[in-house]
Amino acid sequence: MSWTTPSLLALPPSSSRRSSTASQAAGGVLRPPGKGQKASRRCAYCMRKWTSRRWKSSMSPLLPWRSGRRTPTATPGQASSKNPKIALKLAEFQTDGQGKIVLARGKELVQPFSSLFPKVEYIARAGWTRDGKYAWAMFLDRPQQRLQLVLLPPALFIPTPESEEQRLAFARAVPQDVQPHVVYEEVTNVWINVHDIFYPFPQPEGTEEFCFLRANECKTGFCHLYKVTAILKSNGYDWTQPLSPGEDEFKSLIKEEIALTSGEWEVLARHGSKIWVNEETKLVYFQGTKDTPLEHHLYVVSYESAGEIVRLTTPGFSHSCSMSQSFDMFISHYSSVSTPPCVHVYKLSGPDDDPLHKQPRFWASMMEAASCPPDYVPPEIFHFHTRSDVRLYGMIYKPHTLQPGKKHPTVLFVYGGPQVQLVNNSFKGIKYLRLNTLASLGYAVVVIDGRGSCQRGLRFEGALKNQMGQVEIEDQVEGLQFVAQKYGFIDLSRVAIHGWSYGGFLSLMGLIHKPQVFKVAIAGAPVTVWMAYDTGYTERYMDVPENNQHGYDAGSVALHVEKLPNEPNRLLILHGFLDENVHFFHTNFLVSQLIRAGKPYQLQIYPNERHSIRCPESGEHYEVTLLHFLQEYL
């Protein structure tokens, strides 16, 4: 038998459960899986949900992490509270002749993680270089304004010692030229949107150069691709001695950084987006919004001689693509607001001496677009400029019973928070079918992506920095006024605002700050006190409360209930009692404040639902409740 090393895995701590798992559901940061959950496929994949992993046949080292609370009295997960401590570890597995794991042993860093990286609060991503020379990890500070991409040689890990003498013996065996290497840094005064786009090239033997592709949003405010060459130099360390590293202790020299893309558009990097790198032709394929922020397309550019960017997908649709391993075909799942989704396979053809300009040719269909039902009318996309000259996009579902001169009650459907784009040129007849149902019943439905939504650059999204709830409603109201003037059928005296999660929060904000605009508000699963939401999400956008008390107070709807209307039947709150993201505490606290202030409200609880309503019966009940409230009170 021999010691071999399988692929990355995040090992859960001994504690069975956090008080909050909102970070997993809301794009938060590193948290252990709860009791009964499966371990992650990749170490520290904090901004994705935990999934079962598959063993790789090519065995490679394993990095587990663990966590422990610093204090039993603090409630972890809430803004400003202490986060669990983190430790990055490695595990080796012993296998028999059939490849079955028969024994495992853990290794830890030669010095404590907190000593080597004292300002790191979160491990955002981790993995291995393809040649197995290094583990890599992305580290974030607590404000989430500084990201470090770090290489960790396996030799930096030692067996878990049983005594201080043994630890020193293990440390003496670590070569002095072995050290962490910070090969890249991203710094911003807004926030870091963590993503997966990192492609390390194999490191040639005998060279100090380490080359990789990386997407970076912080340099220009728009997410673009860069080819980076770092120099890995060793400072020489005696690992038996305590180390107090400075901020740039392990920082590598950047020899070269070449922008492969540029402009006021984005390479798609978040939400699981990928790049595909053909090392033979020196081409990188990526998805982006170069043509319009309303459509996703597949593009290709050379990383050897950056210049021309070639679009491979058909305009007029929004595409989600994946390249073949041989780079000669790609598959596209695409649609438009008026065309249901279809899935086509395309083959790239053209001269081999000009691979950049190979043209896609239709090769096969895996799914054709279905016919829309006769009562489905797609929304119409529009744009307008705000008083501050910001171009915003929206879409409107026209009432099916539209008659000249007739005014219609209107529902403003909102989300409005970061990481989300509602308005784009993709089919809405599945996920947002209820909006078409409202239109079929005579309502006009308006959707607007205001400042704070994604795919428009960091400055656009960063308008919410430290002031959630204070800028979004103005954009929504300006859009509503534009639509009323443009189309002429909006009854501005009968407007409802409705949303879920962040959209529920904004629905309450709308009724608080614009009660003369919104006759009713239907708020689903709203955050009502930002102090009670989780650290990773809240602090990314709002900083810690001690640095931004005004922002926390101004953005917490439960602290402003006195501004809500005194008339009955203007507020409906809906919430799943088992909500694991926005805990039911938020609605509970809001209702207690409403009662204290003598404010009328209606409340609908779903006892067995979490943040998203999943049970079909609950979904039907929610839709009937929504329609009844609108019919009765709008």
- Let me know how long the chain is: 634
Q: How far is CA 202 from CA 148, 212, 233, 260, 626, in A?
A: 20, 9, 17, 20, 56
CA–CA distance, 521 with 495 (Å, rounded to integer): 9
Q: Identity (one letter) of the amino acid at 520? A: V
122 strand-pairing partners: 140
* Residue 108 CB contacts under 8 Å (≥ 6 apart), including other chains: 87, 89, 90, 157, 158, 160
Indicate if 58 belongs to the active site: no
CA–CA distance, 626 with 634 (Å, rounded to integer): 11
Query: Which among 181, 575, 586, 611 is annotated as catalytic?
Result: 611
Indicate if 579 belongs to the active site: yes
Between CA 118 and CA 123, with CA 120 as vertex, the angle to 5 degrees is 140
Dihedral over alpha carbons 364, 367, 373, 379 (to 10 degrees): -80
Tokens 């504690």 locate to 15
End-to-end CA distance of the chain: 74
- The DSSP line for 88-140 is EEEEEEEE-TT--EEEEEEEEESS-HHHHSTT--EEEEEEE-TTSS-EEEEEE
The 3-state DSSP class for residue 19 equals coil
The 3-state DSSP class for residue 224 equals strand
Between CA 555 and CA 563, with CA 558 as vertex, the angle to 5 degrees is 85
> Of 414, 487, 398, nearest to 448 (Cα)?
414
The 3-state DSSP class for residue 85 equals strand
Q: Identity (one letter) of the amino acid at 307? A: G
Q: Sign of the CA dihedral 18, 23, 25, 30?
A: negative
Q: What is the 3-state secondary structure (H, E, C) of 296-319?
A: CEEEEEECCCCCCEEECCCCCCEE
Query: Which among 501, 513, 534, 560 is annotated as catalytic?
Result: 501
Q: Which two tokens stand for residue 325?
A: 């391993």
> Of 229, 141, 230, nearest to 192 (Cα)?
141
Long-range contacts of the stretch 626-631 (C-beta < 8 A, 24+):
626/434, 626/498, 626/522, 627/437, 627/438, 627/441, 629/520, 629/522, 629/572, 629/602, 630/409, 630/411, 630/438, 630/443, 630/496, 630/520, 630/522
Indicate if 501 belongs to the active site: yes
Catalogue the active-site residues. 501, 579, 611
